[in-house]
Amino acid sequence: MLREINFDGIVGPTHNYAGLSLGNIASARHAGQTSHPRAAALQGIAKMRANMALGLAQGFLLPLPRPNQGLLRDLAVGPGSEPALLAAAWSASSMWTANAATVSPAPDTADGRCHLTPANLVTMLHRAQEWRDTAHQLRVAFADERHFTVHDAVPDSFGDEGAANHMRLCERHDAPGVEVFVYGRPGGAFPARQHEQASRAVARLHALAPESCIFIEQNPEAIAAGAFHNDVVAVANERVLFTHARAFADQAGAYRAIRAAFPALEVVEVPEEAVSLAEAIRSYLFNAQLVTLPTGEMALVVPDECRDSPSVWRWCEAMLASNGPIRKVIPVDVRQSMANGGGPACLRLRVVADPKTVDQRFLLDDAKARVIEDVVSTMWPELIPLAQLGDPELARGVSAAREALIDALGLHELRAEQG
Ligand code: SUG
């Protein structure tokens, strides 16, 4: 039985605010602040628990080993030197698993297997170090080759940021879908992190039918306003595309192209007059989990920040009153992640698969959630002032914390990562 499983990244013990992501407004705004890794991880687990309580299938991925001693060695960076490079090696950014990989479920691919391509994330150093370890972890979680293929990342001449720039439209998750790849054109004030050629390579690697792939340019104004990934301004689920009116370079052309391949498309568009692009990016209204509940109704899991925004909340209430396809709006507290530009949708990688075919150690249930919470509550630092990055004692503590989680979950294969 194929169903959508959300694999959330557990927030790692080095979660910090170093302001590393140019073009990510929240990351820049919180640069230098003291982070709260324990609270951050507990917020993430609470979100997973809430989604399980809605009847959704939930999985998780483990934090990668940080500080990355291999990167520190390669860059010859030690304590006190090159703070940005040091911070990169300490980044907990693998928590945002929407950037871990692009996923094409079995019904879409020529060989009937689910294909995953880890994102190379080359635009930012702190993220570029992720993909080899991510690929290793995905190969453990999705080891059953009858059902899954995990590729290597595409060559680093073309930036790829994974599922954050990929949307799938389908009648039901287990039916063939149309896959929409959104790329940015370089040349603006902020980097365009998804390259068109990377998207096209992923579509070919996944052996998707060309008529079921759409390639759309992101609106350069959206990138300039802080939408460093498409999932900051649009999200899709089954036949619904929920999008800001200024998400794409040619908005009407994008709808036309998708509709030509997927006539059942239902667009829920938020106009600029109702919620400005700036407010959409500030509140992360579109970085929501648009999910199908067991009743068949759709719900939008949004960050708490949406309720704090008068224009966004007014729009949500009007949308609910209008009886459109989205019937519920559910706010969640992921403020620690949000302060680095990572909302509910950034924290999860969607994989349509039969849960029985996935390594069971990566699937969450109540008992496992409690195990993770226990390790986090005892081993994750309560806070990290930025100046503490590089501290050898902290390095020992966070490494031991990750080891404890690996032990508690029996995921010993993840000890031997590449770094
Ligand atoms: O890549 N933030 C992440 C946020 C990723 C959000 N993901 C999606 N939109 N899917 C990024 O910009 C901030 C790290 C720092 O500043 O220390 C950071 O990497």
Whole-number Å distance, alpha carbon 30 to ligand 1 midpoint, is: 12
Residues flanking ligand 1, CB < 6 Å: 17-21, 24, 27, 91, 93, 96, 98-99, 126-127, 164, 228-229, 231-232, 340-342, 346
- Give the atom of ligand 1 at the shortest distance from the alpha carbon of 231: 9
Whole-number Å distance, alpha carbon 5 to ligand 1 midpoint, is: 22
> Out of 130, 161, 179, 279, which one is annotated catalytic?
161
Q: Is 346 a catalytic residue?
A: yes
What's the length of the chain? 419
Whole-number Å distance, alpha carbon 202 to ligand 1 midpoint, is: 22
Joined tokens for residue 411:
């995921």
Mutate which of 229, 230, 290, 350 for ligand 1 pocket (most atoms within 8 A of beta carbon): 229
Per-residue tens of pLDDT for the chain, all 419 residues: 999 999 999 999 999 999 999 999 999 999 999 999 999 999 999 999 999 999 999 999 999 999 999 999 999 998 778 999 999 999 999 999 999 999 999 999 999 999 999 999 999 999 999 999 999 999 999 999 999 999 999 999 999 999 999 999 999 999 999 999 999 999 999 999 999 999 999 999 999 999 999 999 999 999 999 999 999 999 999 999 999 999 999 999 999 999 999 999 999 999 999 999 999 999 999 999 999 999 999 999 999 999 999 999 999 999 999 999 999 999 999 999 999 999 999 999 999 999 999 999 999 999 999 999 999 999 999 999 999 999 999 999 999 999 999 999 999 999 965 44
E strand or H helix at 198, and its extent? Answer: helix 196-205
CA dist., res. 359 & res. 405, Å (int): 17
pLDDT, residue 78, reads: 83
Sheet holding 101-104, edge to edge: 101-104, 114-118, 148-150
The CATH number of whichever domain residue 231 belongs to comes to: 3.75.10.20
pLDDT, residue 416, reads: 61
Q: Is 136 a catalytic residue?
A: no
Count of domains forming the chain: 1
Q: How far lies 12's CA from each of 6, 8, 76, in Å?
A: 18, 12, 24
Q: Strands 298-303 and 289-292: what pairing? A: antiparallel
On whether the CB atoms of residues 224 and 190 are closer than 8 A, the answer is yes
Look up tokens 């068949």; give the residue: 296
Domain around 356: 3-416
Mutate which of 15, 24, 102 for ligand 1 pocket (most atoms within 8 A of beta carbon): 24
> Out of 114, 229, 238, 244, which one is annotated catalytic?
229
pLDDT, residue 81, reads: 81
On whether the CB atoms of residues 180 and 145 are closer than 8 A, the answer is no
Q: Strands 348-353 and 3-9: what pairing? A: antiparallel
CA dist., res. 325 & res. 257, Å (int): 21
Whole-number Å distance, alpha carbon 90 to ligand 1 midpoint, is: 14
The angle at the Cα of 126, spanning 10 to 5, to the nearest 5 degrees, equals: 30
Give pairs for 268-271: CB < 8 Å, separation 24+. Answer: 268/240, 268/241, 268/242, 268/243, 268/319, 268/324, 268/325, 268/326, 269/243, 269/244, 269/245, 270/242, 270/243, 270/244, 270/245, 270/315, 271/245
- Give the atom of ligand 1 at the shortest distance from the alpha carbon of 346: 10
**Secondary structure of residue 347 in the 3-state scheme:** coil
Q: By C-alpha distance, which of 158, 131, 70, 142 is closest to 105? A: 142
Query: Atom 8, ligand 1: which residue's CA is nearest?
Result: 346
Whole-number Å distance, alpha carbon 99 to ligand 1 midpoint, is: 9
Mutate which of 233, 283, 346 for ligand 1 pocket (most atoms within 8 A of beta carbon): 346
**Secondary structure of residue 117 in the 3-state scheme:** strand
